[in-house]
Structure 1
Amino acid sequence: MDTQVLIIGAGPTGLTLALDLARRGVPFRIVDASPAPFAGSRGKGLQPRSMEVFHDLGVIEQVLAAGRLDLTMRAYNGREVVREWDVHEGRHPTAERPYARTMLIAQFRVEQILRAALPQPVEHGMPLTSFTQDDSGVTAVVGPETVRARYLVGCDGGKSFVRKELGVSFVGETHEDMRMLVGDLRISGLDREHWHQWGGRADRWLALCPLPGTDLFQFQATGDGEPSLELYREIIRERTGRDDVVVHDATWMSLYRMNVRMVDRFRAGRVFLAGDAAHVHSPAGAQGMNTGIQDAYNLGWKLAMETLLDTYESERKPVAEWLLGMTTALMTSGNAFEKRDDETLQLSLSYRTEDGPGLRAGDRMPDGVTEQGRIFDLLRGPDFVTLDFPDSFPDGPVLVRPDGYVAAIGRSAIDAYFGANPVTQLHHRRVAARTAA
C-alpha cells in the first residue's frame, strides 16, 4: 500500500479528516483538483459543536483568534435602521457548554488553520480521474500517479467525482426559483460592527456581512445572472438606495442554486463519502461546513481502528436527513436569521439508541470541571477515555468515544461494549478521581 487513507478534496471536511488521522499516526494523502486553496467564504458560520471538535484537535485557540462571536444583525429601509437584534441573545458560555454561540469566521480562514496544523502539505493540482477497488484496497489515478490505498474518502463537494464514479444516487431536488448571488467584496461606507440587511421582499433581499480578520464583506443577494462587479454594484445601489456604499473589488464571486439532496448510502466497500459529497442543502442556519467537519470527526477514529466502519453511515445518515429538513424549513419560513436553538447549534445532536432522561449512550459528552481538570482537556486525544468520578457520575464510570460521544455508562455496560468491540480496548485510557493519601 502507498498509504492507508486517500482523501479526495481539501475543504473543511477533508482537512478535518486529515488532521484527525495525523494525530492517530495513520498514513494518509490529501489531494485536491484545484491548483490552489479555495479563497472564498462559501461558509462563514462555525457552530459550537464544531468548536468542540477543534478543541479536541488542538486548533481552537487559532480559530477563536480568527473569528467573532458577537456581531449584531441590523435591518434597514434605505438609510433608516428599522431593527437590530442578536440571534444568540441570552446565550452565554457555561461549564458544560463552553462555546455558546455561532462564530463568524470565513471558510478560507478555517481551512488555513487546519492546513497549518497538518504534518504534511495538501497536494493541489491533483485531480482524481479514476479508481477501482477490491477486497484489500483501492487503486486510484490521481494527477499523473497511480496510488494504492486501503481506503478512499470522497470529500470533493457537491459535484463529487467520487460519488458519481461510485454510481451512488444523489436523491432530492433542485429549487430553480431559489438562486442567490454571493461573493467576498471590499466595500467602504459601512461599519464592521453589524451584519447589514435590506429588502422587505424576498426578491429584494441583500445582506452584507463583515468577515472577521479581513477587510472583506460577504455579499449575499437573491437574484440571478452572471456574477460581476457591475451586477453586484447595481444590486447594492438599487436595494440600499444609497450611493455611499462603494464596492472596490472582489476576491470571489459565485451564483448559488439551491439543491436539497443526499446520498442513499455513505459507503460503498472501501470508499466513503463525507460533507457536501454526501449532502447539500439550503445555507440557512450555517450548517453545511459544520456537518462536513463532523462527518469527518465521526469517520476518522473508525478508519484508524478499522472497526465499526458500518456505523459511520448508520450514525451520520440520520443527521443528514435531519439537516436537509431543518435547513429547508428555515429557508422557506423566512426566519433564517432569527434566534438559534440547541439543534441549529448542533449541541443536541445525538447517536442515542435508547430514550430516557439524563446522559445516555450516544449523547454528546458535556464539558465540566472535575478534581482532575476540565473534562474536554481530559478527553483530548485519539483514545476512548473512561471517566471514573463517582461524585460527578453517580451512575458509574462513563466511557467516552474518541469523537466525544458517550459509548457506555456503568461498569457492566462498559465491559459489554469492549466485549462487543475488543479492538477498541487497545485505544483506551482511564482517568479516575484522586484518592486520599
Structure 2
Amino acid sequence: MTVVIAGAGPTGLTLGIELARRGIPCRLLEREESLFPGSRGKGLQPRTLEVFDDLGVLDTIREGGMPFPKFRMYAGTEIVWERALHEMLGIEEPQVSPDVPYPLPWLIPQWRTDSILRDRFEELGGRIEYNCEVLDVDQDEDVRITVRRNGVDEVITGDYLVGTDGGRSAVRKLIGVGFEGETYERERTLVGDVKADGLAGVACHMITNAGDVTKRFSLWNLPNSDYYQLVASVTPEDAENPTLETVQRLLETRTGRTDITLHDLRWISVYRINVRMVSRFRTGRVLLAGDAAHVHSSASGQGLNTSVQDAYNLGWKLAAVLRGAPDELLDSYEAERLPVAAQVLGLSSAMHERNFRPTTGPAPAIHQLDITHRGGPLAIDDRERPGALRAGDRAPDGSLPDGTRLFDLFRGPHLTWLTIGDAFEGYDVAAGTHVLVRPDGYIAVISPTAAVVEEWLALFGIDAVRRHVVTAMQPQG
C-alpha cells in the first residue's frame, strides 16, 4: 500500500509525517528543485501549535520563531501608535490556562516551518522526491500518476493520490474539479524577504505618509534573522516585474521616507487575491488538501494553518482505511473540512475588507480553537443534557493529579478513551462519562455508556486505543 502526495509544502509535509509515523508508505513529490524559499505563511495559530505538539516539532518551532511583535503605525518618521495583536483584534489578551496551553499565535517564516517539517518527515524515514511534475492522473482500482522527473516521464502507482500542490494545483485540474469563487482583479499584493536599514526595534512596521493605515508599506521583523517580510498592496501596473529598485521606489513614493534602504532581496512574489474553493475534496482515490482545495486573502493568517489541519484530519483516516476501515471514514474528510474551508473564506474576506480599520460588532476569532465537527458523521453525543463541550469539538488539555497533561495522553497516532472520574476545567461532563478522542484531537464520542464507544470503534474497525480513568487536581466548582 502506498499514498502518493503531490506537493511538499506545509500540507504535504504534515500529511507525510502523519502517514510515516503510522507506518504507511508514501511518496512525496515536489515539482521544484527545493522547498519554498520565502516567508509567506508566517503566522501559526494556537490550534496549529497543538497539532505541532502532537507531531513532535513544537519545541523546534518555538526555538525558530517568536511571539507576534506589536504593530507599529508610522506617519512618515513619527510613530503614531503601537498595538499588540489582541488590541488590533479588539479582544482581551489570551492567557495560558489548563485547557489552552498555547493561546498566542507564533511568528515563524514559512521556509523555516517547512524545513522543520521536512526534518521530522526524514527522521521518520520519509524522503522528498524533487523535480517531479505531475502530468496526468488515471484511476480505477488504484491511481496512476504520470510524472516528469528531470525531463523523463514515468508512471507512479499508488492506492491514493493527495493533491497538496497549491492554488494552481495540477492534480485538481487533472481530475476536473472546479475552483469556484472570485478574483480581486484590481488588487495585487507584493510579498518578499528583504533586509532594511533605517528601522529600529522589533515590530510589524506599518509605514505610511500621513497615517492612513489603508495606504501602508509593511516590514515585519522575521525571528532569528536579519530579514524583514515586506508586504504592500499595489495595483496591477505597480506589480509588474518587481525588483529591489522598484520596491525601494514604491516604499519612498508611498511613505515619503528616504531614510530606509532596502537591500539583499532574497525572494519576492506578486499575488492576485483569490477567494475560491472546490465543491468536493475527493474524487475516487484522489483527494485535495490545503491551497489546492481553498485559497483566500492572507488577512487573519488562516491559510497555512487551515492547510496543515486538512492534512491532520486526513492522515489518520487514510491510514485506517488502508488497514481495513470502511471507506465511509475517508468520506468524512470532505464532510468535516469543506464547511471549515467555507467559514475560513468568509472570515478572511471580512478581515481583508476591514483592512486594519476599527470596526464594531463581535471580535474575529482567528485562533481556530473553536472549529468543531458537531453533527458530523463521526460525532456521537447521546447525553440527555449535553454541556458546553460536545462531540465534534476540540478536546481541551487539562492537568492531572500526577502532573500529566491530557495532551500527553493524546500525543501519538492512537485514539484515547477517557473515563472521567470527576469534572474539571474544560470538561463539563458527569462523573463516569466516557469520552473518545480521535487521533487529530477532536472528540468522537461523549456518552454515559461504554458500549457506545465500543460500537464506534467496531464500526470503523479501529483498535489502536489507549484507555485512561482521569480525575482532576482541582474539580471544577
TM-score for both structures, normalised by structure 2: 0.86
**C-alpha deviations, 1:90-147, integer Å up to 9, x for none?**
212111111111111100010000001112221111111112100x210112224321
1:122 matched to 2:159? The reply is: no
Q: Distance in 2 between matches of 1:351 and 1:400?
A: 13
1:36 matched to 2:34? The reply is: yes
Q: Distance in 2 between matches of 1:407 and 1:173?
A: 35
Equivalent residue, structure 2, for 1:210: 221
Match of 1:25 among 17, 23, 26: 23
1:8 matched to 2:39? The reply is: no
By how many angstroms is 1:8 displaced?
Answer: 0.2
Q: Distance in 1 between matches of 2:48 and 2:82?
A: 27
% same residue: 44
- Checking the alignment, whether the CA contact within 8 Å between 1:88 and 1:101 is kept in structure 2 is no
- Checking the alignment, whether the CA contact within 8 Å between 1:156 and 1:277 is kept in structure 2 is yes
Q: Structure 1's 28 and 68: CA in aligned 2 closer, same or farther, altered over 3 A? A: same
- Checking the alignment, whether the CA contact within 8 Å between 2:197 and 2:261 is kept in structure 1 is yes
Equivalent residue, structure 1, for 2:410: 379
Name whichever of 369-378 and 73-82 sits farther off: 369-378
Q: Distance in 1 between matches of 2:105 and 2:218?
A: 18
Equivalent residue, structure 2, for 1:189: 198
Report matched runs for 1:38-437 at 5 Å. Answer: 38-88=36-86, 90-118=93-121, 119-134=125-140, 136-142=141-147, 143=149, 144-199=153-208, 200-201=211-212, 204-223=215-234, 224-306=239-321, 307=325, 308-335=329-356, 343-353=365-375, 357-371=387-401, 373-392=404-423, 393-395=429-431, 396-410=433-447, 411-421=450-460, 423-424=461-462, 426-433=463-470
Query: What is the SS of the residue equivalent to 1:10?
Result: coil
Q: Structure 1's 177 and 356: CA in aligned 2 closer, same or farther, altered over 3 A? A: farther
Q: Structure 1's 359 and 213: CA in aligned 2 closer, same or farther, altered over 3 A? A: same
Query: What is the SS of the residue equivalent to 2:86?
Result: coil
Q: Specify every segment of 5 or more residues in structure 1 that has no aligned partner in the other structure, as ranges.
A: none
Q: Specify every segment of 5 or more residues in structure 2 that has no aligned partner in the other structure, as ranges.
A: 88-92, 376-380, 424-428, 472-477
* Paired letter, 1:349: I
Q: Distance in 1 between matches of 2:358 and 2:465?
A: 42
- Checking the alignment, whether the CA contact within 8 Å between 1:196 and 1:208 is kept in structure 2 is yes
By how many angstroms is 1:280 displaced?
Answer: 0.3
**C-alpha deviations, 1:25-79, integer Å up to 9, x for none?**
1100101000111100121110000000000001100001111114111000000
- Checking the alignment, whether the CA contact within 8 Å between 1:388 and 1:398 is kept in structure 2 is yes
Name whichever of 253-262 and 363-372 sits farther off: 363-372
Task: List structure 1 runs of 4+ shifted beyond 4 angstroms.
Answer: 200-203, 336-342
**C-alpha deviations, 1:367-398, integer Å up to 9, x for none?**
11113510111100001111223124535121
* Paired letter, 2:454: D
Q: Distance in 1 between matches of 2:467 and 2:358?
A: 43
Q: Distance in 2 between matches of 1:32 and 1:188?
A: 36
By how many angstroms is 1:220 displaced?
Answer: 0.5
Q: Structure 1's 170 and 286: CA in aligned 2 closer, same or farther, altered over 3 A? A: same
C-alpha RMSD over aligned residues: 2.0
* Paired letter, 2:104: R
* Paired letter, 1:161: A
Q: Distance in 2 between matches of 1:330 and 1:400?
A: 32
By how many angstroms is 1:214 displaced?
Answer: 1.5
By how many angstroms is 1:235 displaced?
Answer: 1.5
TM-score for both structures, normalised by structure 1: 0.94
By how many angstroms is 1:335 displaced?
Answer: 3.2
Q: Distance in 2 between matches of 1:337 and 1:227?
A: 31
* Paired letter, 2:202: E
- Checking the alignment, whether the CA contact within 8 Å between 2:214 and 2:356 is kept in structure 1 is no
By how many angstroms is 1:205 displaced?
Answer: 1.9
Q: Distance in 2 between matches of 1:368 and 1:357?
A: 17
Name whichever of 139-148 and 399-408 sits farther off: 139-148
Q: Structure 1's 338 and 250: CA in aligned 2 closer, same or farther, altered over 3 A? A: farther
Query: What is the SS of the residue equivalent to 1:127?
Result: strand
Q: Structure 1's 338 and 237: CA in aligned 2 closer, same or farther, altered over 3 A? A: farther
By how many angstroms is 1:359 displaced?
Answer: 1.1
- Checking the alignment, whether the CA contact within 8 Å between 1:285 and 1:336 is kept in structure 2 is no
* Paired letter, 2:442: Y
By how many angstroms is 1:204 displaced?
Answer: 2.7
- Checking the alignment, whether the CA contact within 8 Å between 2:213 and 2:357 is kept in structure 1 is no
- Checking the alignment, whether the CA contact within 8 Å between 2:7 and 2:163 is kept in structure 1 is yes
Q: Structure 1's 120 and 337: CA in aligned 2 closer, same or farther, altered over 3 A? A: farther
By how many angstroms is 1:433 displaced?
Answer: 4.1
